[in-house]
Structure formats: structure tokens, C-alpha cells
């Protein structure tokens, strides 16, 4: 969907009834044939657009695409999500967001895609990114904090995701798995990948990349049993644009409060109450070693607290944590 198509969608969304083809031609400086091509593109994407001779066009239904004209009316934010770049397909929304950030895009700008050809998670793992069913998006952040605090951002995102999912799907039991996953019934429903460009004493920008399995009906063979979607959990489909707006509305106040604090502050209660690992036997893969112990929670600065069998408490700042199943 190019800029002209999005502008026409904005025009139809904001109109009270029909908009004449002549008005659209005049406003956007295009021919009637060009207008018709953009209308056809919107219909192909699932937008209901009525056309009547002598009256013009009227928007009658929206499919819930993660595009500005659908997301903006649902926003309560001042920055996050206000500038939104949508691509039908991208190699990676994180890669595009980095490019936008390097070229001066402001804090809160977002890149979304309907599909990704090279979606990935942590450790360069492939993130399955089919079209038309899930959310793939990246938020540009420019936090004026010490680089030492930047590893806390995935946990801010996790707290906001928990709030947004709980609001959008009442009764859904979502748990947070340190450091960057959201689980439902023990299966992954969201992933978080934060990347940054920084110097010793300042961050140029942070890209918070998020993938949410929304209306996926069938999982790829290689992730069956370890992943899920909102549809698979509830049997219902959800508006991707509404879910995206819910996340933005949840994230901005959490992020703004964090900028004024010295640690995770207000989100610690959420991270503790909805922890997937707390109280369970965990194995952490860290560099070339493995540590095994019982997860005791999250520190105020975002580390995993691990109680070893010998009574020692380790503070884990990075690594991959998994439940350890004794045989």
C-alpha cells in the first residue's frame, strides 16, 4: 500500500458518507483512472468500498490491517504509533526501522508489515511471518538514559504486551518468560527483539521489534507444540489494528514513567505476578556454560534471580532460560 493509497483511505475514513471521484481527483492531483486503481487495491486488501454513479465512494468496512488510517482513531498516545510506515511485505521490520532511525525518524515512529520474508528472533532464529494473520512491527525509541539501562526495555515491552493482550482478550492467561517471550498455556504467542546503536555514554536509538501470532490457524510443522496464536487459543479472530493500538496505548505511559525512574519501577509488580519462570526449576544457557537453579524473580534492574542448589543466589543479566525437567 503506497502513500497515495493510504491518503485515499484516510479521505474515505474521515468522510461522512460518500466522497465524489472528482473531489478525490482534485485533492490528490490524479486522474479518475488512477483513483479507480487505488480503490481496487483497497478492495483487494479487504476494505469494503461502495461505489455509486453520481455520488462517488464510501468506506463501509475495514479488515483490521495494521495501517495508519485504522490505527490512528484508536490511539491515546502523543508519540508512539503516531507516525506509522506500513509495508505489504518487508524482509524485516527491524531492519527498516533502523534505516528510518538513522535518517532521523522520531521517537515513537513505527514500521509494520503484513508479512516478512526474513523475520527473526533472538540468536538469529527464524520467526515465521506469513501474510494476513499476524502482527510484525518495530518501534523506534530514543531514550535519554544510561546505556546500562537499555537491556530493561524488552521487559517494558513485555509488561505492555501483557496489558494489551489482557485488555483485548479478556480471560486470556498470558505469562512473561524472561527475557523476551510471552506464553499462553506454555506456548509462545509473542516474541520481542530489541536492537540498538549506542556509544559508551549514550544511545542513538533502540529498535523494539515485536511479533504477535494473532489469527494464525495452522502452525508450521517445526514450531507445533512450542507456539500458539490468539485464534488457536480462543477460536476467534481479532482485529490486528485494534490490538496494535492497544499495545501503543499501554506502552507509552510505561515507557515514559521508566524514563523518569532509576530502575524498572512500576512494571516490577506485573513482571513478578505474571512470571512464567518464578518458583520453577530453570536451566540458563549463558555463553559456554549452563546454570541450574530455581527462579526467584526479577531484580529491580531486570536481571533473572536464580537460587542454586548450594544456596547461592546468582544474578543473571543475559542468557537463554528454559524450564528444567527432571527425569
* 119 in a labelled binding site: no
Select from 130, 71, 111 the least CA-distant residue to 207: 111
Strands of 174-177's sheet, edge to edge? 84-87, 110-113, 135-141, 202-212, 187-199, 181-184, 174-177
Q: Could you check whether the bond before residue 43 is cis, i.e. omega within 30 degrees of 0?
A: no
- Among candidates 174, 164, 317, which has minimal Cα distance to 251? 164
Task: Summarize the chain as % helix, strand, coil (round to 5).
Answer: 35, 30, 35
Q: Does the annotation place 240 within a ligand binding site?
A: no
Q: Is 112 annotated as a binding residue?
A: no
Residue 106 counted as an annotated binding residue: no
- Report the alpha-carbon distance of residue 35 to residue 29 in Å, rounded: 10
Is 94 annotated as ligand-binding?
A: yes
Dihedral in degrees, nearest 10, Cα atoms 243, 244, 248, 254: 60
Q: Is 122 annotated as a binding residue?
A: yes
Cα 132 from chain centroid (whole Å) = 15
DSSP state of 106: P
The reply, when asked if residue 116 is annotated as ligand binding, is yes
Residue 31 among known ligand-binding residues: no
Q: Which residues are annotated as a binding site?
A: 92-94, 116, 120-122, 188
Q: Which residues are annotated as a binding site for biotin?
A: 92-94, 116, 120-122, 188
Amino acid at each position: 500500500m503506497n502513500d497515495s493509497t493510504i491518503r485515499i483511505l484516510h479521505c474515505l475514513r474521515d468522510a461522512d458518507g460518500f466522497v465524489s471521484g472528482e473531489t478525490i481527483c482534485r485533492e490528490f492531483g490524479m486522474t479518475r483512472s488512477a483513483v479507480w486503481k487505488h480503490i481496487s487495491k483497497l478492495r483487494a486488501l479487504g476494505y469494503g468500498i461502495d461505489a455509486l454513479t453520481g455520488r462517488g465512494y464510501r468506506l463501509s468496512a475495514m479488515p483490521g490491517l495494521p495501517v495508519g488510517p485504522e490505527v490512528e482513531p484508536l490511539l491515546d498516545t502523543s508519540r508512539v504509533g503516531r507516525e506509522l510506515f506500513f509495508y505489504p511485505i518487508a524482509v524485516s521490520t527491524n531492519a527498516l526501522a533502523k534505516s528510518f532511525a538513522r535518517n532521523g525518524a522520531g521517537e515513537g515512529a513505527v514500521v509494520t508489515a503484513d508479512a516478512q520474508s526474513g523475520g527473526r528472533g533472538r540468536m538469529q532464529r527464524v520467526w515465521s511471518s506469513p501474510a494476513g494473520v499476524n502482527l510484525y512491527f518495530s518501534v523506534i525509541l530514543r531514550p535519554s538514559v544510561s546505556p546500562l539501562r537499555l537491556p530493561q526495555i524488552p521487559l517494558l515491552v513485555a509488561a505492555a504486551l501483557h496489558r494489551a493482550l489482557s485488555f483485548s482478550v479478556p480471560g486470556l492467561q498470558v505469562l512473561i518468560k524472561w527475557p523476551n517471550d510471552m506464553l499462553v498455556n506454555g506456548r509462545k504467542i509473542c516474541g520481542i527483539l530489541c536492537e540498538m546503536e549506542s556509544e559508551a555514554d549514550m544511545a542513538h536509538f533502540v529498535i523494539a521489534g515485536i511479533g504477535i501470532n494473532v489469527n494464525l490457524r495452522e502452525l508450521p510443522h517445526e514450531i507445533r507444540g512450542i507456539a500458539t496464536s490468539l485464534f488457536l487459543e480462543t477460536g476467534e479472530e481479532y482485529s490486528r489494528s485494534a490490538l496494535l493500538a492497544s499495545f501503543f496505548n499501554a506502552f507509552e505511559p510505561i515507557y515514559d514513567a521508566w524514563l523518569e525512574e532509576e530502575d524498572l519501577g512500576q512494571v516490577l509488580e506485573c513482571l513478578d505476578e505474571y512470571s512464567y519462570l518464578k518458583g520453577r526449576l530453570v536451566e540458563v544457557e549463558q555463553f559456554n556454560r549452563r546454570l541450574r537453579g530455581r527462579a526467584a524473580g526479577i531484580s529491580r534492574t531486570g536481571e533473572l534471580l536464580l537460587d542454586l542448589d548450594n544456596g547461592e543466589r546468582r544474578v543473571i543479566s543475559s542468557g537463554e532460560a528454559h524450564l528444567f525437567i527432571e527425569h
